[in-house]
Structure 1
Amino acid sequence: MRIRDNRASDEPEINLVPLIDVILVLIIFFVITATFDARSGLKLELPRAAGAPGETTGQLSVLVNAEGRYFVDDREVLRTDVESLKATLAEVAGGDRDRQVLLRADARTPHQAVVTAYEALGQLGFRRVTIATAPPAPAGGPAP
């Protein structure tokens, strides 16, 4: 007597749900980590001047881009008025007013934006403010 196996033959299948979950998690991870450094996308053309480079350790960095937007260290100031800039500077610097401040302004920045940055720094009591410049263009060559 022959006993038949009435079970259906097992067909191999690939379950795609875990694969889709992993891919979505990876996409979200890469999108979030790609936005960590906001300043890396800023194009900043510094004004040119001759002089020796200074020390940059422990400085408070204030960046003004070509549109007149402010960035204090790694934080963007949402509005361009003096009070918003002062609030962000006070929050980032804390109570340390003897800290060196490096003001990095684009060469195409409106002059009013730089004056506003100096005004906010002066009102908060920062006295050691330096402005960043690029080295002069080589003689006979075009400026980059």
Structure 2
Amino acid sequence: MRRRMSRGEEEADVNMTPLLDIVFIMLIFFIVTATFVYEDGIAPNLPEPNPEENNTEPPPSMLLTVQEDGFVLVDDVRLVDPRSTRPVVEEFLAKEPRGVVIISAAPESETGTTVTVLDQAREAGGPEAYSRITLALQGA
């Protein structure tokens, strides 16, 4: 019992355009309203600012300058060998436990010399002083 359509009848078709329009309008609405939703988070317990800490003196520092010719200056006093910086840094860090060592390298200095001075300073201070030894570039 097969049903045949007569030639005059057309198949009914559902127009999807209005449905898609409504879906996109709802999508835009939800995107816009989602940006206004404020989610509560955990309030951090921040320490009270202590004015005494803000007025403390900066820690004493030692400046090691690696020159272009391979020589090293320790607070403007010339050393011949970069490997001789270790005892100087050991003495400084023993005298100043909070001391900071700044290694300043000239732009044209050899990288190997700078690394040697950095290694000597780190060996002198040990692992606990790594955060107090820093490298700077002259003319930067």
Q: Please tell me the TM-score bracket, short chain as reference.
A: 0.3 to 0.5
The structure whose residues are more often helix, as a share, is 2
**Larger Rg computed on CA atoms:** 2
Larger RCO (alpha carbons 8 Å, 6+ apart): 1
After TM superposition, the score normalised by the length of structure 2 is 0.47
